[in-house]
Chains A and B, each alone.
Chain A
Amino acid sequence: MAHENDPSRLMNVHEINAQIPRKVRFDGSTIGALSFGLAVLLCGLAVLAWLSLDTAKKLHIQSTLLQDGRLVNGTITASFVNRGGTDVKYRFIVDNVLYSGHAEMSADDYSVPGDPHLISIRYLPADPRVNQPVNWKWASVWDLFPFLLLISMTAVGAKAVIIAQKMSNLVRNGLVVVGRVTGCTPKNKLFTVFYVFESQAKEEIEGSSDLQEEYEAGTAIPVIYLRSNPKRNAKYPVSGFRTIQ
């Protein structure tokens, strides 16, 4: 419970506001969370970029082969089932030269009907190294779920980074005023404290923060808000961010 003689009430608001723009430092928990978010975001983006480029490249080869390619039957040398379909390795002969390739086939009917050891290949006569199975498809419905998982993890990383950036901006440029607590409700292991404060434009703004302490209605509470967007506000000092002189 916040007491009437809470030291935060005694802080000199004018002195705090005179330091704008403040120098902001992250504390250990913020650094940990931000590092985790950044790592997840970068890894997720890297995988997404690789997937996109790989698919774009294969689609380009497919469109090229559809225009200028020739058909030949290749021999399946190996096939492995994976979670997206079947990884097929094959080889074929053009002008007495042996070429090989591999592709991930989403459909089961990739082999030539009647002979499960053969696969129909389309290749570029000018350079047979550019080849692709005829039945290759760029997407499979089975890929939806791993893709969703990848997107959700990347989104968590992005969320952590965006929140850190927003809160950092708030602490750096925010104006500190004394607000008034209007309500308090438990939220898991924290308390959501509702408050009102008056902006520079003499407008009464409502806000809330998740805090470790419970506050009584009517208690004064220091609030920091952005002058350009008063709806972005939080209790001051902001947990996880500290300012230095």
Chain B
Amino acid sequence: MSLWQVAQSSGLCPVHRGLMAMRGRHYNEGRRSRSVALGDRGYAYDWRAYTYDDRPHMSRQRSVSSYRQLPRQILQPTHRPLHVQGPVRWPPVATGHAAWILYAGGEPVNITDPSGRDTVEFALRTEEAVPMAKLVDIYGCFAGVAFASVSLDLPRQDPDWRTGVGAAGATFGCVSLYFPESSANAVVQGIITATPAVNYAFCGFAIYGLIHDLNEVAEGKENASVAVSDAFGALTGCVGARLSTLIKTP
């Protein structure tokens, strides 16, 4: 059954059918795209099949972000894809590691992936991606501890409160690794959702430290090792936190 036939049989309005025809690849199977489009009988799709129960007050267009905040009535998982193309399998067979060959989940013989998107989305959305995100977090943790150690050791004077706060910020990421993201515990989730804010604050702190140290190095007041330490910290706080967030929430 073609996509057009599916659109017709689903009773969608002409505008909606046109949209589906134009963006057929994007909507194929009606389950993996994060895009949200609402016609007369609006619907919202996520990577699994969802339908949308008619509500006259709903606006016709919604962004992805507003989709996440849609009210209670919106998403009803049906476990019934709108349309499934013949040769495409979903989900792809787990490869057990980051995909060496992204096409068709590293198994082009057994799996067909005409869109070329499946494996990428699969890698980002499934458990396969979690160790990668965890790895980035662990890297950030160790880099943070290294930053803290260097910060505490290198200065020629006793550490002041700023160094202590920096060390605490650097090691904060290590402690937060202890809490599993799959926990439904509200207290744990409260800490997990707030951790990026601390990482970004640490990022700002490390950048400030780097600028300060470079000033001092330029004026001959400080040794370059402290600046290197702060640069390390900036990398930890900013790149590590952002990379981890990107992997977890593509």
Q: Taking beta carbons and an 8 Å cutoff, which residues of A are in contact with B?
A: 27, 29-30, 32-34, 36-37, 40, 43, 47, 50-51, 80-84, 86-87, 104, 142-146, 148-153, 155-156, 159-160, 163-164, 167, 182-190, 194-196, 206, 208-212, 214, 216-218, 234, 238-240
In addition to A153-B165, A214-B77, 19 A-B residue pairs with Cβ atoms within 8 Å of each other are: A30-B187, A33-B188, A47-B161, A81-B222, A86-B221, A149-B166, A149-B198, A149-B204, A151-B201, A182-B72, A183-B71, A185-B46, A185-B68, A185-B74, A185-B75, A206-B71, A209-B184, A210-B186, A240-B185
Judging by beta carbons under 8 Å apart, are B166 and A146 in contact?
yes
Contact B156 A80 (CB under 8 A): yes
Contact of A153 among B48, B71, B172 (CB under 8 A): B172
Interface string of B175-194 (1 = CB under 8 A from A): 10011111111111111001
The answer to whether B162 and A160 touch across the interface, beta carbons within 8 angstroms, is: no
Residues on B with beta carbons closer than 8 Å to the beta carbon of A217: 53, 75-77
- Minimal beta-carbon separation of B88 from chain A (angstroms): 21
Shortest Cβ distance from residue B74 to the other chain A in the assembled complex, whole angstroms? 5
Taking a contact as CB atoms under 8 Å apart, the answer to whether B212 and A210 are in contact is no
B125 to A: closest C-beta gap in Å = 9
- Judge if B157 is at the interface, Cβ distance under 8 Å: yes
The CA of A159 and the CA of B188, in the complex, are separated in Å by: 10
In whole Å, how far is B29's beta carbon from the nearest beta carbon of chain A?
A: 17
B9 at the A interface (CB under 8 A): no
Q: Which residues of B contact A (CB under 8 A)?
A: 46-48, 53, 68, 70-77, 130, 155-157, 160-166, 168-169, 172, 175, 178-191, 194-195, 197-198, 201-202, 204-205, 207-209, 212-213, 216, 221-222, 248-249
Residues of A contacting B76 with CB < 8 Å? 183-184, 216-218
Known A-B contacts A32-B178, A216-B77; the reply to A81 vs B216 at CB < 8 A is yes
Residues of the B chain whose Cβ atoms lie less than 8 Å from the Cβ of A234: 186
Q: Which of B48, B175, B201, B248 contacts A188 (CB 8 A)?
A: B248
Contact (Cβ within 8 A) B165 A210: no
Give complex CA distance A144, B212 in Å.
13
A80 to B92, CA, bound (A): 60
Is B205 a contact partner of A148 (Cβ separation < 8 A)? Answer: yes
Question: Smallest CB-CB separation from A207: which chain B residue?
Answer: B72
Q: How far is the CA of A212 from the CA of B183 in the complex (A)?
A: 7
Main secondary structure of the interface of B (DSSP, over half): helix
The answer to whether B162 touches A83 (Cβ under 8 A) is yes
Q: Is the pair A152, B187 in contact by a Cβ cutoff of 8 Å?
A: no
- The docked-state distance in angstroms from the alpha carbon of A86 to that of B61 is 57
Whether the pair B187, A146 counts as a contact (CB closer than 8 A) is no
Q: How far is the CB of A28 from chain B (nearest CB, A)?
A: 10
Residues of chain A lying within 8 A (CB to CB) of residue B221 = 81, 86
A30 to B187, CA, bound (A): 6
| Contact A155/B194 with A81-B216, A149-B166, A184-B75 known, Cβ cut-off 8 Å | yes
Q: Which residues of A have CB within 8 Å of B156?
A: 80
Contact across chains for A148 and B204 when beta carbons are under 8 A apart: yes
Interchain CB contact under 8 A, A206 and B72:
yes
Residue from B47, B70, B172, B187 in contact with A160 in the complex, judged by beta carbons closer than 8 Å? B187
- B197 close to A152 (CB less than 8 A): yes
CB <8 Å contact, B181 and A189: yes
CB of A149 within 8 A of CB of B183, answer no
Bound complex: CA of A67 vs CA of B178, how far in Å?
A: 55
How far in angstroms is the closest Cβ of chain A from B249? 7
Q: State which of A86, A142, A149 has its C-beta within 8 Å of the C-beta of B165.
A: A149
Contact B175 A36 (CB under 8 A): yes
Complex CA distance for A155 and B172, rounded to whole angstroms: 13
A29/B157 contact (C-beta < 8 A), A47-B164, A239-B183 known = no
Which residues of the partner chain B approach A163 to less than 8 Å between Cβ atoms?
A: 186-187, 190
Question: In the complex, are the beta carbons of A188 and B191 less than 8 A apart?
Answer: no
Contacts of B195 in A (CB 8 A): 156
Residues of chain B within 8 A (CB-CB) of A51 are 161
Chain A residues near B160 (CB, 8 Å)? 82-84, 87, 104
